[in-house]
Amino acid sequence: MNVYLRNNIKIIGKGSHTVVLSHGFGCSQTMWRYIAPALAKHFTVILYDLVGSGESSLAMYDYQKYDTLDGYASDLLEIIDEVSDGPVIFVGHSVSASIGLLASIARPDLFLYQIMVSPSPCFINHDDYVGGFSASDIEQLCETLDSNYLGWSSSMAPVMMGAPERPELTEELTNSFCRTDPKIAQHFARVTFFADNRAALPQCFTDTLILQCSADFIAPSSVGEYMLATMPKAELVLLNDDGHCPHMSTPDACLKAMFNYLNKATPPIGLRNVC
């Protein structure tokens, strides 16, 4: 198995520390282009596509393996073992934040820091936990996706992106959804939106930055507060942004929060002359 071909791995920059960027549902590594060049000035940056997304090998999509997020976490560990000689700084958007969570618990030696962008360990409300959706909401979302994937893509993209003043970002996300194989997207959607990884949060002892938007329909502020209270070594930064993709809609604010966190981290990264 060639993980470079399986996950369409790209490497940019060269630094003493390695940053791994992992995208969200319906997206690809291209969504990191608003922040990846700035990171590559200081780090070796690894970009990859989740199997079934982007330019990954669709032939490697195994419905049994990827029936839980553990399959993607296993891939991530293989990628880190392949591309890095030491622990990495992992940046995961949305569902990839949960993938990184699971991977860091399985192999904490491979993770120096985690940065979670718009994470949600569970999208469904449970008792006093407010994930943002009822189980019937998620079921209806998945049924709509199953019956009219293109329609779902065009209606969901503006909700996820926010940033109505930048329609080109919504168009980009819509097109990314539409390029994904519908059957894989239907399967991955259920794996993503029905997952419940709340029990994993207290098991993660990797230093973690949680980046959350002030108004996110997909992951409301209650989710970030819950994660902050539940994870042993977490810090929460609220970005003044509407939407679920701040690395695209407000990349400068994302970068500033990341660099501020890494500059004061222990052990220190030693960044200089950054925003």
Name every residue whose Cβ is closer than 8 Å to that of residue 266 and which is 6 or more positions away in sequence. Answer: 207
Give the span between the Cα atoms of 161 and 46, in whole angstroms.
24
Q: Which of 216, 241, 247, 249 is catalytic?
A: 216
Q: Which of 42, 187, 244, 247 is catalytic?
A: 244
Give the span between the Cα atoms of 142 and 145, in whole angstroms.
5
Q: Is 94 a catalytic residue?
A: yes
Pairing assessment for the beta strands 44-48 and 18-22 based on DSSP bridges? parallel
Name every residue whose Cβ is closer than 8 Å to that of residue 28 and which is 6 or more positions away in sequence. Answer: 49, 53, 54, 55, 176
Q: Is 244 a catalytic residue?
A: yes
Q: Is 241 a catalytic residue?
A: no
Give the span between the Cα atoms of 75 and 258, in whole angstroms.
25
Q: Which of 22, 56, 94, 249 is catalytic?
A: 94
- Residue 239 DSSP class: E
Active site residues: 94, 216, 244
